[in-house]
Amino acid sequence: MFFALHRTAMTLLHNISRTLQRRRNATWHALGYDTRVRPETPADYAAVEQLTRTAFNNEAEVKLIRKLRQAQDDCIALVAEQHGKVVGHILFSPATLQPYPNTRLMVLAPMAVSNVLQHQGIGSALVRAGLERCKKREIQAVVVLGHPAYYPRFGFSPASQFNIRCPWQVPDNTFMLLALNPVALKGRSGQVLYHPAFTELLPGAG
């Protein structure tokens, strides 16, 4: 009798353990723990362009990525990969601050995540990984034109607080800046000069 109860208890514990493991694995997958962020390579170009095309539902951002790749050797381009498939992409490109051309700025744009994998932390992982690489390059600030409810979680705030302006007429809270080296920005103000490829995407800069 004792051994029968013991076997039953052990079987029950084993089944509970397997159930918890399956749930833990499912949770890890849902949270993107199987996602790897790495530098983009030429082998990723086609997948990145298709991902971007689907995410934005047009060709404008795809053309922007191509032009920045061709024109800028010092861009930071990262992909998020799951099981060998590209599921996210982010690009940082150099910019300047007029009239302080020696200020080291980066523009965060564009970023895309697979439509079927939204809200799993993939975009956040890409942003954080990109910002870490910007810090290693001693970039002084990163600017982004984006959703004001999303980017502040990474430390971004309206660029107007630093007296830094966007080249386009946009709502104040959508043009944001993250000062990686606040001392370098002290006493400086002006307008961010993007790569000309952005002007084709967002005409009317000036």
Q: What's the rounded Cα separation, in Å, for the pair 39 and 176?
A: 25
The H or E element containing residue 84 is none
Higher pLDDT, 199 or 65: 65
Are residues 128 and 154 in contact, defined by beta-carbon separation less than 8 angstroms? yes
**What is the pLDDT averaged over residues 31-38?**
76
| Whether the predicted model's global pTM rises above the 0.85 cut | no
164 pLDDT band (50/70/90 cuts)? very high
Domain with 17, as residue range(s), is 1-30
- Residue 206 included in any domain: no
Share of the chain above pLDDT 70, in %: 82
Neighbouring CB atoms inside 10 A of 10's CB total 10
**Is 205 a residue whose pLDDT tops 90?**
no
Q: Are residues 172 and 189 in the same domain?
A: yes
pLDDT of residue 71: 82
Both structure tokens of 15: 């089944």
Q: Are residues 76 and 145 in the same domain?
A: yes
Q: Could you give the maximum distance between any two Cα atoms of the chain, in Å? A: 87
Tally of structural domains, the chain? 2
